[in-house]
């Protein structure tokens, strides 16, 4: 604790001048150096100054330690996704910010405050806070510099600038173990970034590292999220049995916690697993169970509707797909929305109207998906169009194959979209 700054805080709080405080104890110059932590005062001088202010060094030490504990609990509650607890601690600390600003906890608290606003997804506020705190970065400890880079990595991740996020995470990798007792979510975000970049092997690798840490610290919600990431990428690498074990464990955990959101997500992802493993009936069963728990006309609701319709189309159960999609398309008003496009394309497939489907994809589907950076769908639709034109217009077919190939390259460095329910 820097006692000089604490003396300054209490002097200002009591509206005392330096002369009034130090009269008969030390010179104004000496007091000024103490308050600015330029000079260490002897115990007798500090005792006399504190007595005049009506404060006790031991009590101030205890107060400082209590704030230090609260600040650490603040970060821990964010890592554990305890929104109510994080808000409560933040309000408490915010009410005592003038005192914290007079301690060497000031920058640590401001960095943790930025982490809180990242947790709240208030990115405009975060951008301003990061700009302001960068002005003081030369005064940071090594841990505070590490933390600042990590917060920038999370910021870029939330802005969907995944390559920038990954570069920062890689830059601070050598310090991860040194500060692992303070920041336990590094490997989680590294797994998440690789997941968004479709780097399945790396997402699994860092997912396992994150899982070990969260299991050691009993971070229940993060355990659920990491298991989801690992399971999804085990499906992508065709390791279906391993993925099944993770997802069934997740389903048990979510049911035990009575966490409907996680149950719904996991049921959908089990549907995705069995669809990928060419087990359409089991896929339909799990997709249907997930759909029953979802609020209608939400993004995840439409994701499951589309997944069920796709399975029906692949099974050549066209009437069932048509019946499912017809009503949903009437209710969807925005025909420029990627969700509408996905359902409309599936609907045209269910009608077995190939020419109508291709015309729709050429004129609406593909341009809308390109506009919204839905790269996986751009590849799918471009290849479908190319396959149609290959027999009638080779130049046109080649044009759409080029679109598909170029988009595939972009997918290596971008986000795209998938049929599973993601962790964000």
- Looking at the predicted structure, is the pLDDT value of residue 45 above 80? yes
Residue 277 to residues 231, 234, 281, 360: CA-CA distances in angstroms?
13, 12, 11, 30
Q: Which two tokens stand for residue 327?
A: 């009503």
Q: Please give the angle made by the CA atoms of 267, 310 and 363, to the nearest 5 degrees.
A: 130
47 falls within a domain:
yes
Q: Rounded CA gap, 8 and 17, in Å?
A: 10
60 or 70, greater pLDDT: 70
Give the residue-averaged pLDDT of 276-287. 98
Helices (H), 135-185: 142-158, 162-171
**pTM: predicted TM-score of the whole model, two decimal places:** 0.86
At 1 the pLDDT is: 57
Q: Rounded CA gap, 68 and 88, in Å?
A: 16
22 falls within a domain:
yes
Q: DSSP readout, 333-379?
A: --TTSHHHHHHHHHHHHHTT-HHHHHHHIIIIIHHHHHHTT-HHHHH
* Cβ-based neighbour number of residue 176 at 10 Å: 16
Q: How many distinct structural domains can be found in the chain?
A: 2
Residue 337 to residues 302, 308, 356, 357: CA-CA distances in angstroms?
12, 19, 19, 17
26 falls within a domain:
yes
372 falls within a domain:
yes
Q: Rounded CA gap, 280 and 278, in Å?
A: 6
420 or 220, greater pLDDT: 220
Helix (H) or strand (E) holding 308: helix 299-314
Please say whether the dihedral angle defined by the alpha carbons of residues 362, 368, 374 and 375, taken in this order, is positive or negative: positive
194 falls within a domain:
no
Query: DSSP 3-state assignment of 158?
Result: helix
Domain end: 37, 55, 73, which one?
Answer: 55
Domain end: 17, 33, 55, which one?
Answer: 55
- Looking at the predicted structure, is the pLDDT value of residue 140 above 80? yes
Alpha carbon 343 to its chain's center: 28
User: Are the CB atoms for 235 and 420 separated by under 8 Å?
Assistant: yes
- From the number of C-beta atoms within 10 Å of its C-beta (0-12, 13-18, 19+), residue 10 rates as buried
Closest CA to 158 of 118, 188, 124, 200: 118
User: Are the CB atoms for 383 and 419 separated by under 8 Å?
Assistant: no
Of the ranges 82-91, 103-112, 162-171, 406-415, which one carries the lowest mean pLDDT score? 406-415
Which domain range does residue 17 map to? 3-55
At 4 the pLDDT is: 83
11: CATH: 1.10.260.40
Close Cβ partners of 141 (under 8 Å, ≥ 6 residues apart): none
Residue 414 DSSP label: S
At 412 the pLDDT is: 65
pLDDT above 90: percentage of residues in the chain: 77
Domain end: 23, 39, 55, which one?
Answer: 55
Q: DSSP readout, 6-43?
A: HHHHHHHHTT--HHHHHTTTS-HHHHHHHHTTSSPPPH
Please say whether the dihedral angle defined by the alpha carbons of residues 349, 350, 355 and 357, taken in this order, is positive or negative: negative
**pLDDT tens for each residue of 334-381:** 999 999 999 999 999 999 999 999 999 999 999 999 999 898 899 999
At 417 the pLDDT is: 56
Query: DSSP 3-state assignment of 204?
Result: helix
């Amino acid at each position: 604790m820097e006692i000089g700054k604490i003396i300054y805080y209490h002097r200002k709080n009591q509206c005392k001048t330096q002369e009034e405080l130090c009269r008969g104890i030390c010179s104004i110059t000496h007091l000024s150096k103490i308050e600015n932590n330029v000079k260490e005062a002897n115990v007798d001088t500090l005792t006399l100054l504190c007595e005049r202010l009506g404060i006790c060094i031991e009590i101030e030490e205890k107060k400082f330690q209590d704030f230090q504990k609260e600040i650490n609990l603040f970060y821990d509650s964010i890592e554990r996704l305890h929104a109510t607890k994080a808000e409560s601690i933040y309000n408490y600390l915010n009410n005592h910010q003038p005192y914290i600003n007079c301690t060497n906890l000031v920058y640590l608290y401001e960095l943790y405050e930025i982490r809180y606003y990242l947790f709240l997804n208030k990115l405009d506020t975060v951008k301003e806070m990061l700009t302001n705190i960068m002005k003081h970065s030369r005064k940071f400890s090594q841990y505070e510099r590490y933390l600042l880079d990590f917060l920038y990595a999370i910021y870029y991740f939330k802005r969907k600038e995944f390559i920038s996020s990954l570069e920062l995470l890689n830059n601070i990798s050598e310090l991860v173990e040194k500060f692992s007792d303070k920041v336990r979510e590094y490997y989680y975000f590294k797994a998440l970034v690789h997941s968004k970049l479709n780097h399945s092997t790396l997402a699994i690798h860092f997912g396992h590292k994150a899982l070990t840490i969260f299991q050691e610290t009993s971070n229940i919600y993060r355990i659920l999220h990491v298991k989801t990431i690992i399971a999804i990428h085990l499906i992508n690498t065709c390791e279906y049995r391993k993925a099944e074990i993770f997802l069934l464990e997740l389903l048990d955990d979510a049911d035990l916690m009575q966490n409907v959101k996680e149950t719904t997500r996991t049921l959908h992802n089990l549907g995705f697993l069995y669809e990928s493993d060419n087990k359409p009936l089991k896929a339909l069963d799990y997709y249907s169970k997930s759909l029953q728990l979802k609020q209608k006309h939400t993004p995840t609701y439409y994701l499951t509707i589309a997944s069920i319709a796709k399975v029906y189309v692949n099974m050549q159960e066209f009437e069932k797909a048509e019946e499912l999609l017809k009503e949903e398309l009437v209710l969807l008003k925005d025909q420029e929305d990627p969700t509408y496009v996905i359902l409309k394309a599936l609907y045209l497939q269910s009608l077995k109207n190939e020419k109508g489907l291709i015309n729709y994809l050429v004129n609406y589907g593909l341009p809308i998906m390109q506009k919204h950076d839905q790269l996986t769908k751009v590849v799918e639709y471009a290849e479908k169009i190319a396959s149609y034109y290959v027999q009638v217009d080779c130049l046109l077919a080649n044009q759409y194959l080029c679109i598909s190939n170029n988009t595939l390259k972009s997918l290596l460095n971008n986000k795209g979209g998938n049929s599973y329910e993601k962790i964000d």
